[in-house]
Amino acid sequence: MGENINLIESSRIVLMWENDRWDVPLSGILKLDGRKICYFKRVYHPADAEEGKISYDDKEYDRYDVFELSPEQIKFELKMHEDFVRYVGSHTEAVDNKLGVLGEKTHLIKPLGEHKKFYNKYTSMNQKEYENNKYLGSFYMKNGDIE
C-alpha cells in the first residue's frame, strides 16, 4: 500500500535544470506556480520497490519530493548554475519542460579544460540540507518527462 503524499499537479511545475543525474535526474531546480524556485530530489525508483526497500505505490515512474528554498539558497543555486553553464555547459537545462534532452543545438558542452573552473569552486557544495526545508509536495517523472 502507498503512503499519503501531497501530489503537485504537473501543470504547476516548470523544470529548470538538473543538478545531479545517474541514468535519471536525481535532483535539480524547478519553478512552482511560475515563480517560486524550489529544489527537487528523487526519492523513489521502481527498482527500489522490487528490492523491498520502498513501496510507495505501483507507478513505473520516479517520485520526486519538492522543497522550498530560502532566498540565500536560491541566490546560491542561480549563481552556481550560471557558473556551470559558463564553465561546463548548458546540457543539464530542461527543454520544453523535459530533462535529459541531449543533442539540442542550445545544449552546449564547454571544452574539458574549462570544467575545473567550476568543480574547483563548488567542491564542497552540499544540497542535503535542502531536505530539512519545508516540504511542498511530490511529483512523478519518467526519463526526465513529468507525468
* Alpha-carbon span 2 to 65, nearest angstrom: 15
pLDDT value, residue 2: 45
* Percent helix, percent strand, percent coil in the chain, to nearest 5: 25, 35, 40
Q: How far apart are CA 115 and CA 127, in angstroms?
A: 20
- Residues pairing with 14 in the sheet: 31
pLDDT tens figures, 73-130: 999 999 999 999 999 998 888 888 888 776 555 667 899 999 999 989 887 666 678 8
> For 40-76, how does the pLDDT look when each residue is reduced to its tens digit (9 = 90+)?
888 865 555 555 444 445 556 788 899 999 999 999 9
| Angle between helix 112-121 and 71-87 (nearest 10) | 160
pTM metric for this prediction = 0.82
Query: Average pLDDT in the 136-142 region?
Result: 88
Type of residue found at 42 = R
CA distances from 8 to 53, 63, 139, 140 (A): 24, 11, 6, 9
Residues 6 or more apart from 120 whose CB is under 8 A from it? none
**Residue appearing with cell numbers 535532483:** 27
